[in-house]
Amino acid sequence: MMIRIATAALMVAAPAAAQTRPSSTTMTCRQAAGLVQARGAIVLGTGGQTYDRFVRDRSFCEITEIARRAFRPTRDNPACLIGYTCYEPGIGDWPGEGY
C-alpha cells in the first residue's frame, strides 16, 4: 500500500514532459516531404496550434479512406506537396484532380 501511495505522489509531483511534434513551417519543403516518405505516416504541426496526419501513400489510410494530396506551408514554400492526408469520401465525392 505504501508503494502505491509513494508512486502516486511521485507521478503527481513530476511535471509532465510535453512531446513536441515536428513542424512543417520550420523545415524546407524537401525536408518535410522526406520525413513523410521516411516515416510512412506522421503527425506534423502546420503553423500555430494546427496539425495534421500525413501519409506516404494510401496504404497508411483506413480501408474506406482515400489519399488526397496535401499542400502545406514550409520554410521555403507556402504550398509544398509534403504527402497525402487520408480522407473519408462522401456520397457526392468523385475522385478527380486532387486525389
Task: Determine the Cα–Cα distance for residues 56 and 31; give it in Å rounded to an integer.
Answer: 14
Give pLDDT tens digits along the chain (99 positions).
556 555 555 454 444 455 678 999 999 999 999 999 999 999 999 988 999 999 999 999 999 999 999 999 999 999 999 999 999 988 777 666 555
Q: Given the C-alpha cell 505516416, which residue does it identify?
A: 41
Task: Determine the Cα–Cα distance for residues 67 and 59; give it in Å rounded to an integer.
Answer: 9
Residue 65 · residue 72 · CB < 8 Å: no
Predicted confidence at residue 60, as pLDDT, reads 97
Predicted confidence at residue 22, as pLDDT, reads 92
Predicted confidence at residue 99, as pLDDT, reads 56
Q: Give the dihedral of Cα atoms 74, 79, 51, 93; nearest 10 deg.
A: -160
Predicted confidence at residue 57, as pLDDT, reads 96
Predicted confidence at residue 18, as pLDDT, reads 56
Predicted confidence at residue 48, as pLDDT, reads 87
Predicted confidence at residue 98, as pLDDT, reads 57
Predicted confidence at residue 73, as pLDDT, reads 94
